[in-house]
Amino acid sequence: MKKKWILPFIVLMLFTIIASACGNGASNGASDNGNQEATATEGTSSEAANTSDTITYQSETGPVEIPAKPQRIVALTNGPNILSMDVTPVGVDKWTAENPLFKDKLKDVAIVSEEDPESVSALNPDLIIAGSHMKNLEQLSKIAPTIVYTWGKLDYLQQQLEIGKVLNKESEAQAWIDDFTKRAGEIGNEIKAKYGDNVTVSTIEIADKEVFAMGDHWARGTEALYQAMKLNMPEKVKNDTLKEGYHSLSLEVLPEYMGDFIVVSRDMTRDNEIMKSGIWSKIPAVQNKQVIELDTKAVTYSDPITLDYVLNIFKEGFLGTGK
């Protein structure tokens, strides 16, 4: 009887040992694989985190490593473009801060200057946007990643798209571009339908006793009028503003530069001697009450907020159908 039980017992023991070994091997294998997968996943996450933390922005001065979603921007330039995308800088230049279109949005924002890098540094920025003409750019770049733009190198639409890339809001920037171009083009077509395809518009700025004719990319609504709405400027204005973007005029020659309509940028809080002069009163556009006035303080930029603002004024001024 004992011999009959010995063999089955030995077989059972061997089976238990083998099964246990296989189980441990499988368990260890799973554990090893799990560790490898965890390591690989952590590596991917880390890379993803790095990718999401920063991006390489191709600026006009070369690649710049910037935060993927900057939180503390000092905008020494292009502050209005940033504001238009619902992002508020921690610091802006005084011209932006004093603009009536942005004052409320910037009431708690510091006013800084490139001439005082310490004031910029005190804001602990994670990104600085500056103009290529500005001083202390090298010192600013040591404070935080610094993107430099040359004014006028990009047109107003490209500039907004670039700011969209910087803010990780490129699709939003493109959506505005598409919408504005469409709306402005439609208004331009309505104006031509009412006054003729050859209707001309002059844009001038009156500052004290000086007058300047504006080209098609010198703010004051010119991008909207001539580029988006595709209205015509008088040939004399086009030729004389081609090089500098604007042209200084004497009062005596002013009538030679005036179109069927005149858009006047001026200080609206003050009377103006030029607009009270006999020469001004004899200009046909003035006599026909085809003068549209803009507050200079509000129209010195070409960002979406400003352009939407002037487009509404133009719609009312040309068509009497502003919202």
With respect to residue 23, please indicate whether it lies within any of the assigned structural domains: no
Q: Find the CATH number of the domain harbouring 159.
A: 3.40.50.1980
Examine residue 195 and state whether it is found in any structural domain, yes or no.
yes
Residue 164 CA to residue 5 CA, distance in Å, equals 83
Q: Do 227 and 155 contact (CB within 8 A), yes or no? A: yes
Structural domain of 238: 184-319
Q: What is the pLDDT of residues 88-142, one digit of tens each?
A: 999 999 999 999 999 999 999 999 999 999 999 999 999 999 999 999 999 999 9
User: What is this structure's pTM?
Assistant: 0.83
| Total domain count, the chain | 2
Is the same domain home to 136 and 188? Answer: no
Give, for 74, the enclosing helix (H) or strand (E).
strand 73-75
**What does the buried/exposed string (b/e) look like for 66-104 if buried means 16 or more CB atoms within 10 Å of the residue's CB?**
bbeebeebbbbbbbbbbbbbebebbbbbeebbebebbee
pLDDT digits (tens, 9 = 90+) for 3-24: 333 333 333 333 333 334 434 4
Hunting for tokens 């490593």 — which residue is that? Answer: 65
What element of type H or E holds 59? strand 54-59
CA angle 271, 99, 101 (to 5 degrees): 100
Distance CA 59, CA 67 (A): 14
Is the Cα dihedral 37, 42, 47, 53 positive or negative? positive
